[in-house]
Structure 1
Amino acid sequence: MRCRLKARVLRALRVTAAAALLISLTSLPASGAPDPGPAGPSRGGTDIAGGETVSLAEAPFAVQIAYDTAGTRVACTGSQISASWVITARHCDSASLRSVRLDTPYLGAGGVVRTIAARYPSPVGDVLLLKLSTPHPGIYVGLSRTFPAAGSPARVIGWGDETEGAGAMSVQVKAAGVEVSGQGSDAFGGLSVRTQSRTGHPLAGDSGGPLIVGGKLVGVLSTSSVLPGGLPSSFTGFYNDHAAVSRHLGWITLVTGVGAD
Structure 2
Amino acid sequence: MRIRNLLAVVASALVGAALTPSTAAAAPQQIIGGDTVSSAPWAAAVYSDGSFRCSGSIIASRWVLTAEHCIGGSMSVRVGSVHHATGGQVSAVSATYSQDGYLYDIGLLYLSTPISTTYVTLATSDPPVGSTNTIYGWGRSCLNCDVSAQLKTASVQVVSVRGRDAYEGPAIRSSPATGIAWQGDSGGPQFYAGQQVGVCSNSNGSTSQNYASIAASRAWIAAVAGV
TM-score over 0.5 for the pair: yes
Please say if residues 32 and 204 of structure 1, whose CA atoms lie closer than 8 Å, have aligned partners that are also in contact. no
Residues of 2 paired with 1:187 and 1:204: CA distance? 12
Give 1:77's match in structure 2, choosing from 55, 65, 69: 55
Please say if residues 132 and 156 of structure 2, whose CA atoms lie closer than 8 Å, have aligned partners that are also in contact. yes
Give 2:97's match in structure 1, choosing from 114, 117, 120: 120
Whether 2:99 is the aligned partner of 1:110: answer no
Letter in 1 for 2:218: L
Partner of residue 49, structure 1: 32
Q: Deviations over 1:126-172 (max 9, x none)?
A: 00000000111110100000111101110110112111254x32110
Whether 2:154 is the aligned partner of 1:176: answer yes
Partner of residue 210, structure 2: 241
Letter in 1 for 2:49: D
| Residue-pair matches, total | 214
Q: Deviations over 1:81-103 (max 9, x none)?
A: 00010000011112x24100111
Partner of residue 28, structure 1: 17
Q: Deviations over 1:35-90 (max 9, x none)?
A: 339xxx7xxxx96311000112xx22111000135xxx112000000001000001
Whether 2:115 is the aligned partner of 1:136: answer yes
Where structure 2 has 5 or more consecutive residues not aligned to the other structure, the ranges are: 6-14
Please say if residues 31 and 207 of structure 1, whose CA atoms lie closer than 8 Å, have aligned partners that are also in contact. no
Residues of 2 paired with 1:35 and 1:155: CA distance? 24
Whether 2:223 is the aligned partner of 1:254: answer yes
Give 1:29 shift. Answer: 2.0
Give 1:206 shift. Answer: 0.7
Give 1:112 shift. Answer: 1.3
Other structure's SS at 2:69 match: helix
Residues of 2 paired with 1:31 and 1:77: CA distance? 16
Identity, % of aligned positions: 36
Please say if residues 67 and 105 of structure 2, whose CA atoms lie closer than 8 Å, have aligned partners that are also in contact. yes
Residues of 2 paired with 1:193 and 1:146: CA distance? 11
Where structure 1 has 5 or more consecutive residues not aligned to the other structure, the ranges are: 3-13, 17-25, 228-237
Residues of 2 paired with 1:27 and 1:151: CA distance? 24
Residues of 2 paired with 1:27 and 1:106: CA distance? 25
Partner of residue 64, structure 1: 45
Residues of 1 paired with 2:153 and 2:4: CA distance? 27
Please say if residues 30 and 225 of structure 1, whose CA atoms lie closer than 8 Å, have aligned partners that are also in contact. no
Residues of 2 paired with 1:134 and 1:107: CA distance? 19
